[in-house]
Structure 1
Amino acid sequence: MNDKDNTPDDQIDAEFRWQMPEAFNFASDVVDRWAADPSKLALLAENAAGDQQSFTYAQVSRLSCQLANLLVNQGIQQGDRVIVMLPRIPQWQIAMTAVLRMGAIPIPCITMLTTKDLAYRAEHAGAKGIITIAPECPKFDTIDSLQTRICVGEAPTGWVGLSEADALPESFEAATVGIDDPAIMYYTSGSTGNPKGVTHASRALWAWKNSAEHWLDLGPGDRIWCTADTGWSKAGTSILFGPWSRGTAVLFYDGPFEPAKRFDLLSRHQITCFCAAATELRQLVLEDASQYDLSTLRQTVSAGESVNPEILTRWKALTGTYVLDGYGQTETLMTITNRPGREVKAGSMGRPLPGVECAVRTGDDEAQSRGATGELLIGLPNPQVMLGYWQDPERTASTQVTIQGREWFATGDNVEIDSEGYVFFTGRADDIINSSGYRIGPQEVENALSGHPAVRECAVVGIPDEERGELVKAWIVLKDGFTGNDALTAELQNHVKASTAPYKYPRRIAFAADLPKTVTGKIRRNVLRAKDET
């Protein structure tokens, strides 16, 4: 623990000031700075076969310079959007650093995305390039707009192998990126329509160090393992931007979820901070970890879904560490967390981080910071809050509200803030489904189901599930001539898996004669959800 543990939160918050530079390039201002020590460890990587690699900051700096030169040679310029779709392999960090180094805008994507998902992102963002692994290359065969194609592994026709960067210069003059210039884009599900392109300025990459210090409590001597997928903004918080801003070494594991393996990796790599979703922790607390040396583990954190009190208690008994729950959105990064060495209230997401002002919008359309229930608001301006949704000024404007002369970002999440400032999540204000930490928009699933010849009409909702938080359930009205049965259920599930990212498929399907609707014809999803609660 560091000195701040002896300082009251209120004093830390009162003294905190955002002191942003005029320009910020993560590659030169963070990676290259730590690379001045040629022996400083940045990354440990291991795969399911047990193969291991390690990289210093100096090596990441050199390799990212070479890749930046390759990107330039292939026509990528500052400001261009580049899809980075890689699994948990070291080339992900190198690619992200290289794209940022040259001032281009990376779009991190998970490998579960389908051709349809990727075509939408490429077209919507006007992306010019793609970096992916060989097995994923066929997904891009019909996406002609991606002129620059770089493959990790044996490159097919029309692609350039990443290995060609090996012969290029090991230096690259980093681009000047203004603090308010676009720097990264994440696609996140909305309750209606296609995924939204959440665009963050370089100020956000700079500000990610805030949660790394005050939530993860990281320093140059730490090692963190975060199990988030590479397409999530959580990977920025706890795998790349946050930890490396603090000079911390990161473990990257490319392998399936196996509880015993999790504890083996924590022990062998002497992890000091572990970050995992509540879905994982629910499985891990059932494991016997007595044979593993977890003496270096001093902190565990979780975000994306609520951690119930039972898990907190069992994890503490198992590992000796508390689970510090936290809250953030793709649009805002981490804003509310339980802090190290502070009281943890079971069920609470914690209190606002330094530099973050929170309140709730009450039914009277007032903003109250204590002892109130309503929609969570984040005070503006704040460097962590997005620039906006890409090419969608109307939707961007809908998130910004003025209450009593004060500007706020409206999160769409309902919370309760108690008299001490602790925040408790009570539910979404929209229909977003949160399953195992994945945000799933119901309309994306409905669009996929509607493409099946048996479906006349459908509605998708989230239903409570002890293991995953929520499950995706579809209510379907069939066309004449079709009968709802187990075979059709499986066929519909496979159809969704083939049409969009597989994690979005409905694990439950119910067939109905009709769907409840308002007088204007809008589906009443709340009525469908209620059917599973009775």
Structure 2
Amino acid sequence: MRDVFASAAEDRGEPSYADLCAGFRWEVPETFNFGTDVVDRWARERDGPALIWSNEAGEERRLSYSDVAALTDRFANVLRSHGIAKGDRVLVMMPRRPEWMIAMVGAMKIGAVPIPCIEMLTARDVGYRVEHAEARAVVCRAEHVGKFDAVAEAVPVRVALGGASGWLDWEDEMAAASPTCEPERVAADDPAVMYYTSGSTGHPKAIVHAARAVFAWRGSAIYWLDLKPGDRMWCTADTGWSKAGTSILFGPWSCGACSVLYDGPFSATERLKLLERRQVTVFCAPGTELSRLVDEPIASYDLSHLRRTVTSGEALSPAIADRWQAATGVRIDEAYGLTECLMVSLNYPGEEVRYGSMGRPSPGVDLDVVSPSGERLAVGQEGDVALLTPHPQLMLAYWGEPDRLAASLREGPEGRWFLTGDRAERDGDGYLWYRGRSDDVISSAGYRIGPLEVENALLEHEAVQICAVVGSPDIERGEIVKAFVVLRQGFESSPALTKALQDHVKSVTAPYKYPRAIEYTSALPTTATGKIRRRDLRDREYEAAGKAAG
């Protein structure tokens, strides 16, 4: 892997994918503390802009690496002075503010394990996380302290930004803390950060990542984001998601780039204004946001600084990608990852991009499509996406569930594979093509149909703004393909439009995949990160069918 510090001032050009893979070697250090080995080192060796923050109210704040180094030292000392030590879990529930990054890195400097959380969590949500993770510290804004009332006694250290009764005041504690911190030694396999993410059933699962993973995640920042000192990177993800960690915090700062952070609601026009105003060079947003942006008059904004647009988290419609590239002159490079290992398949600058593809495995990553017996499948065969282990990016464990990781492993002739839960096929050039979640696949009259191909076909029609495709129970066929469609302005639902959409899908993909039922809706259910919740739609279909039968 490229040494980001040694090559910071060099322009190495764009080596081919084959050269990247052939020359790649993992060199994971025996110890790695992100706060000292990245933030402090940039501050010491090549100080520069680290963060440009603003919010909806127009407030703004800029921090250099030396600013961040000093502030995270102070916060580390705040935690340490109140008894927080290496291995202790620290729940950080903050919006897109500098304090989120300061709390995360400050905790890591003393070897504590931060747990980033979004503010929209309910009291029940945070209560579960506090108790499940046995958190010893909580950091949040004053207006959210009430969510912790039921578990406050279980958390010995509580810090509120803005001050609250019974809580430590962020400003007072930071002012009183020592400005220099003696960092903790963190071994490569020591826990470094924990993420909660939704499982298929029950409570969210807690994924523990080691320090080696935080080190290894710079791979996607180098090869996918293509970040260097001087870049301004804006990722719109919220703070509680692993995508924010890799594309707002760990990725940009590992490469000495400046992270752009905006605390405000989604507005397509505001997104474009900020891209112009902040002179963003690398932009990361989910497909649902990009689908809104392409409907705006993009040509009226100066996006001349933008050299790279990337997306992940949900499959990107080729139709949206084409429109963005036509409007900006910048293509969209998709990547594939999951919270358990982050980005493992990328599209690369200087290499051909194939819209709709997950890209090709990252250098140093053996990712493939495997059979139920753990064998690699041939070109064009659909199977389970899996990562060959051991691998530095793969999580340590599911916290509190020692058997859960084992259930995600599959033995094969070459070793043990970690199953991602997604299905795909590989083409002759090594590009992976997403075919849906293992539990999203529609089984209709003996055919297995991935929802994404049908969605992409629908999105090519001028009437469709966004859509989701699920299996709906059917007596004759087992399931039928059903599409939920949000129409663009100027179009109205009608039987004639339904037939037109069905005929369109038949014309661009195998006819058996066309949606036999189409329901028009004003909105689709999404997660907090903007991913469409197909499961909710499918569950609704099965619940309705059950009531009709009973």
Percent identity between matched residues is 46
Match of 2:349 in 1: 340
Q: For the residues of structure 1 that align with 2:54 and 2:378, how far apart are their CA atoms?
A: 45
Match of 1:67 in 2: 75
Note the aligned Cα RMSD (angstroms).
2.9
Deviation at 1:208, TM superposition (A): 1.2
Deviation at 1:388, TM superposition (A): 1.4
Q: TM-score, normalised by structure 1?
A: 0.81
Match of 2:57 in 1: 49
Q: TM-score, normalised by structure 2?
A: 0.79
* Inter-CA distance 147–303: structure 2 relative to 1 (3 Å threshold): same
Match of 1:93 in 2: 101
Which runs of structure 2 are paired with 1:5-154 in the superposition (5 Å)?
5-36=13-44, 39-143=47-151, 144-153=153-162
Deviation at 1:405, TM superposition (A): 4.0
Q: Any conservation in 2 of the 1:279–1:467 contact (CA below 8 Å)?
A: no
SS in 2 for 1:239: helix
Amino acid aligned to 1:12: L
SS in 2 for 1:187: strand
Q: Any conservation in 2 of the 1:359–1:369 contact (CA below 8 Å)?
A: no
1:159 and 2:191 matched: no
Q: For the residues of structure 1 that align with 2:365 and 2:417, how far apart are their CA atoms?
A: 11
1:514 and 2:546 matched: yes
Deviation at 1:372, TM superposition (A): 2.9
Q: Any conservation in 1 of the 2:233–2:281 contact (CA below 8 Å)?
A: yes
Query: What are the ranges of 5 or more consecutive residues in structure 2 without an aligned counterpart?
Result: 1-8, 442-450, 456-480, 488-526
Which runs of structure 2 are paired with 1:343-422 in the superposition (5 Å)?
343-363=352-372, 365-368=374-377, 370-422=379-431
User: Which has the larger displacement, 507-516 or 73-82?
Assistant: 507-516
Which runs of structure 2 are paired with 1:292-331 in the superposition (5 Å)?
292-331=301-340
Match of 1:426 in 2: 435
Q: For the residues of structure 2 that align with 1:62 and 1:466, how far apart are their CA atoms?
A: 50
1:202 and 2:211 matched: yes
Q: Any conservation in 1 of the 2:238–2:244 contact (CA below 8 Å)?
A: yes
Match of 1:271 in 2: 280
* Inter-CA distance 516–175: structure 2 relative to 1 (3 Å threshold): farther
Q: Any conservation in 2 of the 1:358–1:369 contact (CA below 8 Å)?
A: no
Query: What are the ranges of 5 or more consecutive residues in structure 1 without an aligned counterpart?
Result: 436-461, 469-496, 518-534
Q: Any conservation in 1 of the 2:373–2:412 contact (CA below 8 Å)?
A: no
The number of aligned residues is: 461
Deviation at 1:333, TM superposition (A): 0.6
Deviation at 1:292, TM superposition (A): 1.5
Match of 1:454 in 2: none
SS in 2 for 1:150: strand
Deviation at 1:463, TM superposition (A): 7.5
* Inter-CA distance 39–206: structure 2 relative to 1 (3 Å threshold): closer
Q: For the residues of structure 1 that align with 2:219 and 2:32, how far apart are their CA atoms?
A: 15
* Inter-CA distance 369–22: structure 2 relative to 1 (3 Å threshold): farther
After superposition, what is the alpha-carbon deviation per residue over 1:223-281, rounded to whole angstroms, capped at 9, x for unaligned? 10000010000011100001100000000000111111111111111100000000000
Amino acid aligned to 1:182: P
Amino acid aligned to 2:292: Q
Q: For the residues of structure 2 that align with 1:313 and 1:420, how far apart are their CA atoms?
A: 22
Match of 2:234 in 1: 225
Q: For the residues of structure 2 that align with 1:513 and 1:343, how far apart are their CA atoms?
A: 45
Q: Any conservation in 2 of the 1:5–1:340 contact (CA below 8 Å)?
A: no
Which runs of structure 2 are paired with 1:175-214 in the superposition (5 Å)?
175-214=184-223
Deviation at 1:195, TM superposition (A): 0.8
Q: For the residues of structure 2 that align with 1:333 and 1:428, how far apart are their CA atoms?
A: 17
Q: For the residues of structure 1 that align with 2:57 and 2:298, how far apart are their CA atoms?
A: 22
Deviation at 1:6, TM superposition (A): 4.1
Match of 1:447 in 2: none
Q: For the residues of structure 2 that align with 1:239 and 1:393, how far apart are their CA atoms?
A: 30
SS in 1 for 2:68: helix
* Inter-CA distance 362–509: structure 2 relative to 1 (3 Å threshold): closer
Q: Any conservation in 2 of the 1:260–1:287 contact (CA below 8 Å)?
A: yes
